[in-house]
Chains A and B, each alone.
Chain A
Amino acid sequence: MDLLPTEEQQQIIDTAANFLTHEFPVKNLIKLTDNKTQFTRAHLQHLASMGWIGIGLPEDYYGVGCGLAEEALLFVELGRNLMPPSVLASVLAAHVAAQSGTTEYLRRILEGEVKIALASARPALPLHIGASIDGEFLLYEAEDADLVLVADQGGAALLLLSSLECMQTEKCIDSTLHLSRRFATATPALCFVPVEKENIFLRGALLISAMLLGIAEATLERSVNYAREREQFGKPIGSFQAIKHYCAEMAIRCESVRAMLYHASITLQAQSSAGPFDTFSLKALAIDAAQSNANTAVQIHGGMGYTQEMDIHLFVKRAQVLGTLFGSERFHLKKLLAERAPD
């Protein structure tokens, strides 16, 4: 038993952290206020060149041959650097293409040649995801996408963006993301993977949780640094218990979600009966950690935290967006309570 990352896994973390802070620094996002896609096809190909889209896919499917744990570690770093949820759409799309034998798309997805938008169903219309798709969807990063990934508890599908109706661009709470709304009416899927074959929805929930952990950790780190430097009443504000205790609570939320993420990565990968139980727990805790930490970070940064001159607000907004993807807190808690407790 060893819950910590192995040396190889630690290397993935370090490489990703290093690459992302140099190639995609968060400060570049501060200027973006227009809801345009910041993450271009060239950016996607740059990421894909690292082998990251297929990191969790077996080599038989042109992947790197690692597992869910490695994917999860990568997504913590992607979340920390506010990479868009469409990266997750690409990774999951590769799983869908591989499982459904859609090899002509698989290679192009892995190389970042095909761009995938992430769909999140609105409850306004009845949802059906199968060989054909019905429903109303919010699409993240559809601006220059080719395909759309949709997933629910029954399965996951890829469809052509052009096959969806009535595009309406929306103003997104997170101004660094492109958001639109579209409808599907008996729209044929390019490929569909039922949950019995692979649970793409739970994989998505776990990886979104990893991104949420990245946000929780990034906002803790920024808060601690600020609390050490910012002085009032002649001392660093971090010496006041009011601030110190906020930071301690933020640190515990990070520790709790990181431990849960490691545990769930192992049990879900092993298809153990504890996998869903752990993932439902994880997603609920990760949403709370990211949102509570980001919100607390604004308070710790004081008036400056409320401005767009600092990057804290970006984390607040992204935590809200990610919280809605692959099941809300309420959804996961309901599922969790209905599960049998693992041995």
Chain B
Amino acid sequence: MNLDFTPQQMQFREQVRDWLETNKPAQARPADGAEGRAFDLAWQKTLYAGGWAGINWPREYGGQGFDTFQQLIFLMEYAQSRAPGDHYRFNGLNLAGPTIIACGDEEQKATHLPPILKGEVIWCQGFSEPSAGSDLASLKTRAVIDGDDMIVTGSKIWTSWARFADWQQLLVRTDPDAAKHAGISWVINRMDNPGMEIRPIRDMAGGSDLHEVFYDKVRIPLKNIVGGINNGWRVSMAQLSFERGTAFMPSQIETQKTIEELIELARNTTLEDGRLAIEDDHIAYELAKLRAETRSLLAMTLLGISRNERTGIPGPEGSMLKLFQSELYKRITALALEIVGSDRARLSSLTGRWPQAFLGSFANTLGGGTSEVMRNIIGERYLGLPK
């Protein structure tokens, strides 16, 4: 049991810190989608030029091939420096890219991997459907083989930044007669492919990064199937093999910053009874509890990384961290509303970020697997309870 880093690792930390200090963008990421896309691609180009693109990608595919601790250190420094988040770059770097590395053929790798690292393309995901959410494997978007192509008809939903993306990792049903998990293929699709219609969805926090995507006889070459026909379910799990438990470091640091800022806010906010919020027993109790839980989130993240490093297999901590962090963040933003009091109504006020964060926090316990699905996974795969 130790929390020590080696002198080499400490030196690496300095190197990361210095580079980020000099190179991170001076201005904030624009809220507008098209400008956001340009900003994300420019930042990815800077990372690539600096030798920091694809920290968890193997060197043979142009990545940095960092070990777990280098990844951890990089992500800690990155979050501390407040460099821009992954945003639209997320899917290519963390999902589509790693999947192509794990399951793609040589041509797919050569075509698609370099542009992701170099900041030339944005990827999105077409997995969920209106009637296949938590039960993803029941997806119905149909792909009929026609010569060297497949013809896709159906619809996808919750596709983030679809109208600003170039490519899509798409799950389609290639064998309607096979068992639910067995007839699915993972395929690469161009977002400007004829027959597609993209409809933005406005979310409750005012954003419109989510989309519904419709496919009407969309033609995709069979050579775009990754990992073999009808093997899509296994392929979609492949990105997990990249996971070293470090993926939760950024959200852990974000949560820590958020709770500390909220405590600071409570020290400076007067309640309707004239006392400071921090002097209110209920608020103080809840703040301290959230602070303790946030601290344990750090410890859990480090424990998960340690376990991963020993066994090389991603454990149940992924689901636990996801559930713990998203529920924690939701409670932090809900408490913030109690502290700002009636000003929660003023999205345009100086404290408007808190009601805004409250609205956005609902996405955390839904996207990437609902809290209920996470509890099922923990119960079944970790505790061995029956289905």
Contact = CB atoms under 8 A, between A and B. Distances in A.
Given A228-B386, A238-B379, A256-B296, A337 B287 contact: yes
Given A3-B302, A238-B386, 16 more contacts: A4-B307, A228-B384, A241-B372, A247-B378, A248-B383, A251-B382, A252-B320, A259-B300, A262-B303, A267-B3, A281-B295, A285-B292, A337-B263, A337-B284, A337-B288, A341-B256
Given A239-B385, A260-B295, A285-B292, A245 B3 contact: no
Contacts of B12: none
Which 7 pairs, one residue from A and one from B, show the smallest C-beta to C-beta distance? A333-B288, A259-B299, A244-B379, A281-B292, A263-B299, A238-B385, A248-B375
Interface string B283-320: 01101110111011111101101110110000001001
B263 A247 contact: no
Given A244-B375, A266-B3, A255 B300 contact: yes
Interface in A219-256: 224, 227-228, 235-236, 238-239, 241, 243-245, 247-249, 251-252, 255-256
Interface string B44-77: 0000000000000000000000000100100000
A251 B315 CA distance: 14
Given A252-B323, A333-B292, A337-B291, A247 B385 contact: yes
B383 A224 contact: yes
A148 interface: no
B300 A4 contact: no
A285 B309 CA distance: 26
A258 B288 CA distance: 19
A282 B288 CA distance: 12
6 contacts: A2-B309, A238-B385, A248-B376, A259-B303, A266-B3, A284-B292
B3 A251 contact: no
A278 interface: yes
Contacts of B310: 2, 4
B375 A69 contact: no
A224 to B, nearest CB: 5
Nearest to A338: B288
B378 A248 contact: yes
A1 B293 contact: no
B323 to A, nearest CB: 7
Interface residues of B, number: 49
Contacts of B306: 1-4
Nearest to A284: B292
A260 B380 CA distance: 25
A334 interface: yes
B40 to A, nearest CB: 30
Contact of A263 (B302, B305, B383, B387): B302
B25 to A, nearest CB: 25
A235 B376 CA distance: 17
Contacts of B317: 255
A105 B76 CA distance: 49
Contacts, number: 151
Nearest to A267: B3
Given A3-B306, A336-B292, A251 B1 contact: no
B302 A244 contact: no
Interface string A303-330: 0000000000000000000000000001
B324 interface: yes
A224 B384 contact: yes
Contact of A1 (B287, B302, B382): B302
A259 B302 contact: yes
B4 interface: yes
A247 B316 CA distance: 14
Interface string B360-387: 0000000000001011101110111111
Contacts of B300: 255-256, 259-260
B19 interface: no
A9 B384 CA distance: 27
A256 B285 CA distance: 19
A277 B298 CA distance: 13
Contact of A224 (B297, B375, B385): B385
A266 B2 CA distance: 7
